[in-house]
Amino acid sequence: MLQPLAAGATAPIPKRALGKTGEHLSIIALGGIVVTDTEQSFANNIVAEAFDRGINYFDVAPTYGNAQERLGPALEPYRKKSFLACKTTKRDKAGAKAELEESLRLLRTDHLDLYQLHALTKMDDLETALGPNGAMETYVQARKEGKVRFIGFSAHSVETALEAIKRFDFDTILFPLNFVLFSQANFGPQVLEAARQKGMGILALKSMAKGAWPEAQKKNHPFSKCWYEPAALPEQASMGLRWTLSHPITAAVPPGEEKYFRLAMDVAQKFEPISTEEEKTLMASAAGVEPLFRLGNA
């Protein structure tokens, strides 16, 4: 029988099923950019805090600066109880193999729970990765060897994502799922539906994003770890994350800025689906915003 929470206690961040994998992930991840260019002590402390609050999903990539070097030692005490996802932008077999081995070394683990083709944007990327001597040959072999448990991809193109879903039986997709993109560019609903129909684990990017930085702010803004303009703190960002999590997905990866990650933990810990009135308010704030991506960029 469930024990009641002590007075003042907060329930841990809830978990959801990851497609057909049998795994259950916390509804938000700790994205590796949170620990990029930080002291190891900071990385150790924030990973410990995240784990204590219920996060078991950690996502990183070699392109995130020194994030792997920081996350490996920080996650080591919790590795057996965590779900570690990594990625590679290498599209060839040899390059992907070399990067996989380096990620395993830096992350201090003998396997990755999820390995993803990172940032599939152009159709040529997909053709190369799935073709002869492509990265997918490394992925499949690594899965046979126990170095990788599940195979997924991330993308920033609707067209490329839809084709990837058709071409290979991926376990997961990591894709932008954002209120501005949906309402201002019709970017995402088609991918969400295609992935849902195949029973894939759906992981969301850009849930707390707003749009492209105005030209005058591109080099002069307070969020060094956001290449896009994030939603305003705290109300718009909170509603943006809740809007994303109100869809049939497993989890969202918040921005790498510490303020946004901490807000995401708070929102996730007391998550409630967005109401109709809140959604109207959120969508009104998206009107006229230039979206980060548009259809037809494959």
Place of tokens 């770890």: 225
Beta bridge partners of 92: 134
**Rounded distance between C-alpha atoms, residue 92 and residue 33, angstroms:** 25
Token pair 């002291």 is found at 39
Inter-axis angle of helices 189-197 and 158-167, nearest 10: 10
In 156-241, which ranges are E strands?
172-176, 201-205, 209-211, 229-230
CA dist., res. 112 & res. 87, Å (int): 10
Q: What is the pLDDT of residue 113?
A: 98
Q: For residue 93, give the amino acid letter.
A: K
pLDDT at 2: 36
Residue 150 in contact with residue 113, Cβ under 8 Å? yes
Cα gap 155→117, rounded to integer Å:
8
The CA distance from 8 to 76, in Å, is 30
Question: Can the peptide bond before residue 291 be classed as cis, meaning omega within 30 degrees of 0?
Answer: no
Residue 298 has a pLDDT of: 62
| φ, ψ at 176 (rounded to 5°) | -60, 125
Q: Got the DSSP string for 106-152?
A: HTT-S-EEEEEEEEE-SHHHHHHHHSTTBHHHHHHHHHHTTSEEEEE
Q: What is the mean pLDDT of each run of 10 residues along the chain (298 residues)?
A: 45 97 98 97 98 98 97 97 98 98 98 97 96 98 98 97 98 97 96 97 97 82 87 97 98 96 97 97 95 84
Kindly give, in sequence order, each residue whose CB lies less than 8 Å from that of residue 202, ignoring residues fewer than 6 positions away.
19, 172, 173, 175, 177, 192, 195, 196, 248, 249, 250
Give the whole-angstrom CA distance, residue 151 versus residue 282: 34
pLDDT of residue 59: 98
Q: How far apart are CA 154 and CA 238, in angstroms?
A: 23
Backbone angles phi, psi at 61, to 5 degrees: -160, 155
Tokens found for residue 212? 């492209």
pLDDT at 122: 93
